[in-house]
């Protein structure tokens, strides 16, 4: 071998050795990170097998030895809240120094598009962004990633402080939630934004969660069938796409009005779902949640369900299993898990406003409150029936924060609206009782809307409701012997029943048909 070739080979071997020796940190550890206060804090990463690792932070020094696969982890003792940023040092054969690390409250924000929806597209966006001067409210966005097996790494934006230059890209629901908590608690708040629009709950479930219940085999069967049909579906799509592109170009050549009219009548063909699609069961857990484990969290907030509305009957079991599995994977007990009940929306293909697929999905969400340490924020009164992405994210974030303030941080406040407690027959009416009706019931602006009542024939008729303190007497002239009552039990109801705290009543039905 020529000397030059030998030198090149030696150089490459030295480079490879150096790369193997590099100490690395898990994705969430970067400058500006927020660590969770008052509980053990795992710090982890990779290094060369057998390498000694030392982690130093806030007067603590912890050591670990990288395992045969290169993994290492240390556990810091619980930390007090700290708004003054400090260095976190990780030393092995190389040294990493994270600057401006603070300690406070960390929340994971996940779900589909209504969680991903940024501040820049929320109501009053310009004013909100201009006022975003909260250097201790920090946000890290996880890159949208599908993985077929649990991954260790994922790309992120790094931790960003809330400023007018950055806040526009933050999750709006998460930002308004975190801003409320930051103001109330006076400690740093960290938001981990791991969300992806248009995704179903099964994509966010771990493989272990999906294999834990025989009922979930249907999810895998559907996806396997989808993959089998994908090649033919993709070929057909490509033909439609080519024809659409040609027609769109012809319309564009006729001028802007013709092009806009064409697009309105002929939306771009939707590609079929196949390998690498974000609907892959467990695909988003593998790619966007597993790399975060076991980062110390206070809890999670969630806004998702629209993509499962067509199969609402499956949702409760899947959602509950997802929550249990996330808690098990993070290994921090029953961390708080709060979600948003779907807003009022006229679902296309389901009777519009009068359809009921969203009503059944909301019911599945409400049923999941049977799990410990959970809570539900309503959006039934602040949606936009013609817009699946209502812009009033401020109130959604505030209602989620009420749950956290009360249930997580022990600050006494009402956090839930009137909740169905039962219905009893009184002559030709049904008297509905509620929990969480502090201050009595209130009908905003007009008599209580969106009430229905039925007799034994199970035909529901519009009904009137009379408020009597914390109960509602419901009757309809067409129903002399009522047996069941419903409230806001359609996709886009006019929901105007509240408690004295101004929180909306939870949609309900007394039947189980």
Buried b or exposed e, range 31-66, using 16+ CB within 10 angstroms: ebbbbbbebebbbbbbbbeebebebbbbeeebebeb
Give the pLDDT of residue 232: 96
**b/e per residue, 184-210, with b = 16+ CB within 10 A?**
ebebbbbbbbbbbbebbbbbbbbbebb
The edge-to-edge listing of strands for the beta sheet with 461-462 is 461-462, 451-454, 484-487, 508-509
Distances (CA, A) of 278 to 202, 288, 362, 452: 10, 11, 23, 39
Looking at residue 277, its pLDDT comes to 98
Q: What is the pLDDT of residues 25-42, one digit of tens each?
A: 999 999 999 999 999 999
What is the tens place of the pLDDT at every residue in 309-368? 999 999 999 999 999 999 999 999 999 999 999 999 999 999 999 999 999 999 999 999
Domain ranges of the chain: 102-206+282-412, 218-281, 419-509
The predicted pLDDT at position 246 comes to: 96
Residues 370-388 pLDDT 10s: 999 999 999 999 999 999 9
- Separation CA 106–CA 191 (nearest Å): 6
CATH of 102-206+282-412, one of 3.40.605.10, 3.40.50.300, 2.30.300.10, 3.40.50.1110: 3.40.50.1110
Q: Which residues of the chain have pLDDT under 70?
A: 1-21
Provide the percentage of residues in the chain whose pLDDT is more than 90: 96
pLDDT at 420: 98
- Looking at residue 438, its pLDDT comes to 87
């Amino acid at each position: 071998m020529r000397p030059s070739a030998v030198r090149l080979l030696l150089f490459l071997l030295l480079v490879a050795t150096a790369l193997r020796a590099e100490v690395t940190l898990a994705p969430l550890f970067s400058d500006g990170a927020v660590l969770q206060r008052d509980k053990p804090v795992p710090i982890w990463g990779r290094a060369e097998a057998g390498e000694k690792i030392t982690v130093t932070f806030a007067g603590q020094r912890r050591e670990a030895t990288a395992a045969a696969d290169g993994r290492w982890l240390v556990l810091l003792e619980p930390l007090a809240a700290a708004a003054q940023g400090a260095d976190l040092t990780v030393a092995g054969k190389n040294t990493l120094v994270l600057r401006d690390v603070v300690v406070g409250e960390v929340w994971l924000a996940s779900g589909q598009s209504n969680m991903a929806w940024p501040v820049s597209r929320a109501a009053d966006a310009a004013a909100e962004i201009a006022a975003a001067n909260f250097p201790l409210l920090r946000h890290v966005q996880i890159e949208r990633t599908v993985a077929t097996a649990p991954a260790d790494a994922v790309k992120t934006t790094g931790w960003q402080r809330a400023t007018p230059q950055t806040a526009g890209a933050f999750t709006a629901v998460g930002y308004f939630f975190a801003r409320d908590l930051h103001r109330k608690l006076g400690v740093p708040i960290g938001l981990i934004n791991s969300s992806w629009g248009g995704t179903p709950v099964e994509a966010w479930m771990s493989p272990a969660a999906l294999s834990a219940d025989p009922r979930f085999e249907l999810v895998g069967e559907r996806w396997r069938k989808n993959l089998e049909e994908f090649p033919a579906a993709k070929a057909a799509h490509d033909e439609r796409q080519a024809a659409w592109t040609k027609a769109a170009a012809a319309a564009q050549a006729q001028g802007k009005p013709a092009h806009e009219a064409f697009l309105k009548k002929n939306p771009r063909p939707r590609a079929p779902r196949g390998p690498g699609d974000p609907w892959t069961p467990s695909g988003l857990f593998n790619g966007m949640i597993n790399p975060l484990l076991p980062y110390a969290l206070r809890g999670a907030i969630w806004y998702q369900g629209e993509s499962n509305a067509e199969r609402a009957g499956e949702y409760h079991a899947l959602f509950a299993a997802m929550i249990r599995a996330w808690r098990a994977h993070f290994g921090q007990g029953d961390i708080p898990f709060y979600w948003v009940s779907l807003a009022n929306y006229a679902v296309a293909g389901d009777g519009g406003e009068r359809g009921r697929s969203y009503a059944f999905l909301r019911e599945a969400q409400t049923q999941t409150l049977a799990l410990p340490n959970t809570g539900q924020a309503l959006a039934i009164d602040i949606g936009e029936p013609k817009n699946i992405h209502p812009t009033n994210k401020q109130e959604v974030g505030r209602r989620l924060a009420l749950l956290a303030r009360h249930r997580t941080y022990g600050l006494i406040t009402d956090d839930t609206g009137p909740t169905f407690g039962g219905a009893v027959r009184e002559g030709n009416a049904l008297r509905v009782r509620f929990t969480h009706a502090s201050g009595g019931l209130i009908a905003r602006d007009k008599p209580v809307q969106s009430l229905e009542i039925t007799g034994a024939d199970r035909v529901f008729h519009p009904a009137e409701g009379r408020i009597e303190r914390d109960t509602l007497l419901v009757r309809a002239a067409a129903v002399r012997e009522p047996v069941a009552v419903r409230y806001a039990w359609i996709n886009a109801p006019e929901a105007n029943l509240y408690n004295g705290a101004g929180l909306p009543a939870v949609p309900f039905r007394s039947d189980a048909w």
